[in-house]
Amino acid sequence: MNSATQASLPSSDSQNEPSFSLSPPPGNPLDQGRCIREAAALIIGDEILNGKTLDRNSNYFARYCFAHGIDLKRIEVISDKEDEIIEASRRLVNRYDFVVSSGGIGPTHDDITYASLAKAFGQTLEHHPETMRRMDAINAFRHTNLHQSPEQREAYLRMALFPSEAEVIFVRPEIWVPVVRLAGRLCILPGIPALFQKMLDAMTPFLPLPEAADRLKRMQIFTDRRESSIAPYLTQLQARLLPRGISVGSYPVFGKGVFISLIGRDAPLSSSIEGGTVNDSLAAVATEVEQAVGGRVIREDEVETVKQVS
């Protein structure tokens, strides 16, 4: 097992929980040092499929990918079944640069993600000593799990039983749970949304992400006009802009109006139209759309407010 971890445990005072060392950033696992371009999410859990639990992790991952210039191509939700985990993980890893899984890594009988993924990639399972040490340090501080039966101890340590050839990457000083990465592409994350979100954000320095200048941007315009009244204009606009790498989408809000979304790179562009040329930079197109549909550009942080009060 490849453990990319610093083994030292910094001392902590009586008021603070242990603070752990981070792993050094691993090398770029992608061919020829290229950056991540396409991604997928594998959400594992019967509780998602039967409606007991609302899946927040795929939405958070989608927003993370967009913000970092990654094209999220697929989100799959599957049950806690070994054969489904094996099939889906192999297929997604073979197709995409970056895959995250969410769920199924706890101590109970139905938490089978590590074992299933080990089988999927032809590996055995091994306890990871550094992870066990961090688990015990946290629990000693909290005075929990100090009097376990052998059966309880075995169940507890299942959370440190990883595929033997995995990378084990510690990304936050206060969290003992590592990111376990397989085949250089599949990152295994917990299903608890607060943990998933913190660990995904903390992975950023460990990933070969696209340069900021190469990332897509989104601008949104809101109008109170009916979607049918602006549809002909949007159809013509998309035909003009698609060759320029700018996509146009419309998203009605019942009884209130329409959000028009423009996604592209905000670089100076021009294209020929009847009677001359037009500036097709993202900002210029947004201004054009504002005027054409009688709307206004909405900041990302305003969107939910506009949906509620417009």
- pLDDT exceeds cutoff 50 at 13: no
- For the domain spanning 2-206, the CATH number is 3.40.980.10
**What's the pLDDT score for residue 9?**
41
Q: How confident is the model at residue 167 (pLDDT cuts 50, 70, 90)?
A: very high
Measured distance CA(310)–CA(298) in Å, rounded:
12
- pLDDT exceeds cutoff 60 at 237: yes
Q: Are 258 and 230 in contact (CB under 8 A)?
A: yes
**What's the pLDDT score for residue 6?**
46
For the segment 268-279, the average pLDDT, to the nearest whole number, is 54
| Helix, coil or strand: residue 214 | helix
pLDDT tens-digit readout, 86-135: 999 999 999 999 999 999 999 988 899 999 999 999 999 999 999 999 99
Q: How confident is the model at residue 69 (pLDDT cuts 50, 70, 90)?
A: very high
**What's the pLDDT score for residue 122?**
97
Across the chain, mean pLDDT equals: 89
15 against 231, higher pLDDT: 231
For the segment 248-258, the average pLDDT, to the nearest whole number, is 93
